[in-house]
Chains A and B, each alone.
Chain A
């Protein structure tokens, strides 16, 4: 089982920015204990959603050639709690990108209100010994399809993204 903390992308511009959406639901089991009678989406899991939204944006920008691993979270702030029924939007942008790592900023919103923000720093690891494989290619592609990346994704010149042939 994997934890997926974004439901799909609504826009995705290669190497630049993306918006992903998550519908917060009381059907999610973790809500039942966090907290009984007062269900709140844990901000720690929202950080994971931030990392998934920005991480996929980064991974696509480098053609999935390296393993994009969450390395640091800086300046995370949350202004209110997301609750069942809320639609959380993750607005991710790449601030800087080098072969060895990238710096991104992600804001979450509910309606017009900024719910949270953080800078997420990724290390890009070379595949090889000592670096665990994160996904099988077909499994990754299934996730990308589930995220609608190739439905909404555009490259730098506004053309649809090319779905990898794995």
Chain B
């Protein structure tokens, strides 16, 4: 099983290629959207690159659960309700959602995911 640092380096390379950012911009605390400028189409590109780099399969919606964030069952007035938050946590055990919980507006979610979340997600996949 690769070490956390090995995973981080490969994740960094995937993000540099997909987003055209410099290596030193890809710090563990950098947010995918706010700091690295990822747009929605970039996330699919990142999925392709992570799958190739680590030899894993990433089912649709697992890394970026867009279906939860657009569900009328979970979203009211642009905010995720308690059931939605629970669903998100269940789907994304690798992500630190504590900041998002304080202000669970869907718009805010884009600035929640960090590079470290990507690393933890890959760890959960390669660690079996």
A-side residues, CB < 8 A to B, are: 71-72, 74-75, 95-96, 98-101, 103, 121, 123
- Asked if B60 contacts A103 (CB within 8 A), the reply is no
| Alpha-carbon distance between A99 and B60 when the two chains are bound, in angstroms | 10
* Contacts A/B (CB < 8 Å), 14 sampled: A71-B41, A71-B45, A72-B42, A72-B45, A74-B18, A74-B20, A74-B45, A96-B51, A98-B47, A100-B60, A101-B48, A121-B45, A121-B48, A123-B44
From residue B48, how far is it (CB to closest CB) to chain A in Å? 5
Chain B, 1-39, CB within 8 A of any chain A CB: 17-18, 20
| Alpha-carbon distance between A100 and B52 when the two chains are bound, in angstroms | 17
- Asked if B17 contacts A75 (CB within 8 A), the reply is yes
Chain B, 41-59, CB within 8 A of any chain A CB: 41-42, 44-45, 47-48, 51-52
- Asked if A74 contacts B44 (CB within 8 A), the reply is no
Closest to B58 in A: A98
- Asked if B17 contacts A100 (CB within 8 A), the reply is no
B-side interface size class: 10 to 19
| Alpha-carbon distance between A98 and B41 when the two chains are bound, in angstroms | 13
| Alpha-carbon distance between A95 and B42 when the two chains are bound, in angstroms | 16
- Asked if A96 contacts B20 (CB within 8 A), the reply is no
List A contacts of B18 (CB < 8 A): 74
List B contacts of A99 (CB < 8 A): 60
From residue A97, how far is it (CB to closest CB) to chain B in Å? 9
- Asked if A96 contacts B41 (CB within 8 A), the reply is no
| Alpha-carbon distance between A103 and B42 when the two chains are bound, in angstroms | 12
Which listed residue, B17, B42, B52, B60, touches A98 by the CB 8 Å rule? B60
Besides the contacts A71-B45, A75-B17, A100-B44, what 5 more A-B pairs have beta carbons closer than 8 Å? A72-B41, A74-B45, A96-B48, A96-B52, A101-B45
Most buried by A among B44, B48, B60: B44
List A contacts of B52 (CB < 8 A): 95-96
- Asked if B44 contacts A98 (CB within 8 A), the reply is yes
List B contacts of A123 (CB < 8 A): 41, 44
Counting from the closest, the 9 A-B pairs by CB-CB distance are: A101-B44, A71-B41, A96-B48, A103-B48, A121-B45, A123-B41, A100-B44, A72-B45, A74-B17
List B contacts of A74 (CB < 8 A): 17-18, 20, 45
- Asked if B17 contacts A103 (CB within 8 A), the reply is no
List B contacts of A72 (CB < 8 A): 41-42, 45
From residue A105, how far is it (CB to closest CB) to chain B in Å? 12
Most buried by A among B47, B48, B51: B48
| Alpha-carbon distance between A123 and B41 when the two chains are bound, in angstroms | 7
